[in-house]
Amino acid sequence: MARFTNSSLDKLRDAIDIVDLINGYSDLRRAGSQYTGLCPFHEERTPSFSVNPTEKVYYCFGCQEGGDAISFVQKVESLDFAGSVEWLADRYGVELEYEELDPREAERQKQRDRLYELLERAAKFYERTLEESDEAADAREYLAARGFSAEVLKKFRVGFSPKAWDKLLVPALRQGFTEQELQAAGLAQRNDRGQFYDRFRGRVMFPLADTRGRVRGFGARAMRDGDKPKYLNSADGPVYQKGRQLFGADRARSAAAKRGRVIAVEGYADVLALHDAGVEESVAVMGTAMTDDQVVELSRLASRVYLALDADRAGRQAMIRAARVAEGRDVELLVVDLPAGKDPADLIAEGGAEAFEVRVKHALTVVEFEIQQAFAGAALETARERDALISELAPIFELIPAGALKDEQLRLVADRLSVSESALTSLMRERPKSAVRGDEPFAADAARRQAQSGMSAGTEKSERLFMASCLSAGTVGREHLGLLTDELLSTPLMRELRDHLRENFEKPAAGVAALKPQLRDAVTEVAMLSERENASDKAIRLGFLQLEKAGLDRALTGSPAGEKAKIELKRQDVIRRLGELSAEFA
């Protein structure tokens, strides 16, 4: 990845007007030294989103999302770090400089750039062939018959590969590319005699671009019935990896960010049809076996993901897996129930975008959908059949964390099967563990995490507040940050936060976009809070003692009986000092 020089990143940060930037996404109002508005990342009626124009950071006290201009653009425009830096540089007219890479990395980068160049030329060549060549007449007819507009074909750079063995190969070699490069780009392959030939011949070509619009590979559909396979993708190589790509991600990016949702469909035709119908936040997973990587990519495009996929067995397995991946990522996954044998392109051909939107409106959670599907396909006459259904439902229920929702679903299922809830629960427990991947039963995992976060939420909050007051208090604050040992902080995140603040005491929020999201949110929150504070030395000392006491409380529960007395002694001392200090305040 291209790395920017620190000086050019600094120049960019200076040039950015964060209030002007964020104003395009939320109406900001001045409130003292800060600006507030409705949070662009979560639904709210009263503003809990603040922007600090001097530190150039934002933080939402509702959803705890925070960061700087770079991370803001990453989020709202669904770009990666480099893409977001380039986007901002463009907008604020800053020229970026790139870091000198070490020679080996620079060489690899150069090789990859050549492959991108080759793929870009191939895309242009296929586009031109579809437009102009006689042998593409059938393909043009086929695409027109499917009802795709010329605009949408152009937008997605749909093309055609000639039937001959070397129509791409020969000109590319003449332009100075090697056979090995053509192979690495997934465009050529070798026969038994070691000769290279074009991988794609006589096919409709769909370029697979990344979110920045760079072509990384192709998906290709056969034109003749005899040609196998019907769909052929680029071979894996340095720039293309199967299962990473979403078709149309670059074209859906900004619509998805704007509407807060992305629609995942099965194939190229569905994406084209949806875009033609104005549903531009649509991408294809290219096959029912949606991968974990693709779920992650989808969650980057928007916080609500609609799966409008084939619900055959493989498809349903993929959805359950996707639900597991999504759970840890703060993304809502919904399933669009499609009529049997119909895909989104069919729905749109019959009833336009409205017909599709009605389905989207009635989308179900993965759990609801799976339960519905399990019942739809099941015979329930005999006890054996009912047992089979319970086996099928068990892994689905593992997806639901314990709580009211789970109880409700259990009640509904028990009713339909005419068994008691407790019988149903114990029957499910007897089933062998689900075949779906995952080391730990999902619900147990989620429940454990919830318990942990519930336990530490209050403690963490006071640790964050303390660090914020340290930031606001100059020398005394800096000293006390230095005194904060690991034992005084309750979570690894808080220790990382302390380390970051020690190293960046003067400008804690500069460059936060490069931090991992959790730390970035925490740093911006603390930087934001510190602005409002003006902690006295005494307040700092008091806060520190409180953390000491909390740390000793934790140590007391976790230590062997022999050490408890010693800890208790220390604890009493801290309590005494706390009392004295508080008395000074009174």
Interface with Zn ion by CB under 5 A: which residues?
39, 41-42, 60, 62-63
The residue (of 59 and 156) whose beta carbon lies closer to Zn ion is 59
CB 503 within 8 A of CB 472: no
The reply to whether omega before 229 is within 30° of 0 (cis) is: yes
Nearer to Zn ion, 28 or 552 (CB): 28
- From residue 322, alpha-carbon distances to 316, 319, 443 in Å are 10, 5, 15
Min CB(523)–Zn ion separation in Å: 17
Residue number with CB closer to Zn ion (62 or 237): 62
Nearer to Zn ion, 60 or 85 (CB): 60
CA of 440: how far to CAs of 317, 445, 553, in Å? 17, 7, 31
State how far the Cα of 499 lies from the Cα of 519, in Å rounded to an integer: 11
Crossing angle of helices 69-76 and 81-91, rounded to 10°: 110
Residue (39 or 118) nearer to Zn ion, CB: 39
User: Helices in 16-63 by DSSP H: which ranges?
Assistant: 18-23
Pick 63 or 164: Cβ nearer Zn ion? 63
From its phi and psi, is residue 154 left (phi > 0), alpha (psi between -120 and 50) or beta? Answer: alpha
Residue closer to Zn ion (CB basis): 201 or 261:
261
Considering the complex, what minimum distance in angstroms separates the CB of residue 38 from Zn ion? Answer: 9
Least separation in angstroms between CB 70 and Zn ion? 18
- DSSP labels for 480-493? HHHH--GGG-SSHH
Of 3, 6, 1, 9, nearest to 94 by C-alpha is 9
What is the phi/psi pair of residue 312, to 5°? -75, -175
Provide DSSP, 425-449.
HHHHHHSPPPSSS-SS-HHHHHHHH
CB contact at 8 A, 78 and 257: yes
The residue (of 135 and 332) whose beta carbon lies closer to Zn ion is 332
Q: Decide: 350 and 272 in contact? Cβ < 8 Å.
A: no
Tell me the one-letter amino acid at 192.
Answer: D
Q: How far is the CB of 39 from Zn ion (least distance, A)?
A: 3
CB of 259 to Zn ion, least distance (A): 17
From 263, 289, 254, select the one nearest 345 (Cα to Cα): 263
Residue 178 and residue 190 in contact, taking contact as beta carbons nearer than 8 Å:
no
CA distances from 458 to 452, 492, 549 (A): 11, 15, 14
State which residue, 24 or 377, has the beta carbon closest to Zn ion: 24
H-helix or E-strand spanning residue 264: strand 261-265
Distance in Å, CB of 75 to Zn ion, minimum = 11
Is the CB of 18 or the CB of 308 nearer to Zn ion?
Answer: 18
Min dist CB 311 to Zn ion, Å, is 34
Q: Which is nearer to Zn ion, 63 or 353 (CB)?
A: 63
Nearer to Zn ion, 25 or 466 (CB): 25
Distance separating alpha carbons of residues 57 and 13, to the nearest angstrom: 11
Per the DSSP assignment, residues forming a β-bridge with 335 are 307, 364
Widest Cα–Cα separation across the chain: 93
The least distance separating Zn ion from the CB of residue 535, rounded to whole angstroms, comes to: 26
Helix 474-483, helix 537-558: angle, nearest 10: 10
Q: How far is the CB of 570 from Zn ion (least distance, A)?
A: 40
CA 206 to chain centre: 24
- Closer to Zn ion by CB, 40 or 267: give it: 40
- Nearest approach in angstroms of CB 334 to Zn ion is 21
Q: How far is the CB of 16 from Zn ion (least distance, A)?
A: 21
Distance (Å, rounded) from C-alpha 550 to C-alpha 574? 10
Name the minimum Å distance from CB 46 to Zn ion. Answer: 11
Rounded least distance, CB 326 to Zn ion, Å: 19
Torsion angle defined by CA atoms of residues 531, 535, 540 and 541, in that order, rounded to the nearest 10 degrees: 180
Antiparallel, parallel or unpaired: β 304-308 and 261-265: parallel
Residue 46 or 191 having the CB closest to Zn ion: 46
Packed helices 517-532 and 442-472: angle between N→C axes, nearest 10 degrees = 40
* SS3 label, residue 562: helix
CB of 76 to Zn ion, least distance (A): 12
